[in-house]
Amino acid sequence: MIQQLQTTILGREYTLELSGTLTGYWLVFLRLLVGWWFLHEGLNKYVAPGRFRAGWFLEKTGTVVSPVLNAFAGGATEAAIELVVPAGEVLIGLGLILGVLTRTAAFFGAFMLFFFYFGSEHWRRGLVNGELMGLILFVTIIVFGAGRIWGVDSYLETTDLVGNRPWLRYLLG
């Protein structure tokens, strides 16, 4: 049985033919694994002793994204980040596990890991680290539209709502 993944990127249709179901199973596994990773990280911030604090990260200097991060340090913006990061990780994890708004969830996961990667001190160990690998996993989920395989997005894309508004497919899959 030959499967195809079809997607539209920047207005151009792409079709990837998959031989058998192995690739589909791999994308589901990848989506579930990354979803569990983020769900676990988010829930851990709620149940771990002590409150999650973002100040240690927002107040760093000398990284590529320090000027952006420093703008959020202190006051109400730091308090908002301390609420948004764990909630975002939980929502991203659930979105990936259920395959709901998969590309949107993966986009925000990649967005978070972009700042974790470029704001990290792990550069001293080399350019390739866990944050970069996570960023690559999220981009892979976005490109392949992994929510279309055993995800709620596969059902949502068959509805009239999405059929009449093809731009919604960019958020799904």
Query: For 100-158, how does the pLDDT look when each residue is reduced to its tens digit (9 = 90+)?
Result: 999 999 999 999 999 888 887 666 667 888 888 999 999 999 988 888 888 898 898 88
Check residues 97 and 118 and name the one with the higher pLDDT. Answer: 97
CB atoms < 10 A from the CB of 119, how many? Answer: 18
**In the predicted structure, residue 86 carries a pLDDT above the cut 80:** yes
Rounded mean pLDDT, 96-100: 95
Rounded mean pLDDT, 77-89: 90
pLDDT per residue as tens digits for the range 6-50: 777 788 887 776 655 677 788 899 999 999 999 999 999 989 878
- Can you read off the two tokens belonging to residue 68? 């952006």
**In the predicted structure, residue 81 carries a pLDDT above the cut 50:** yes
Q: CB of 23 within 8 A of CB of 34?
A: no
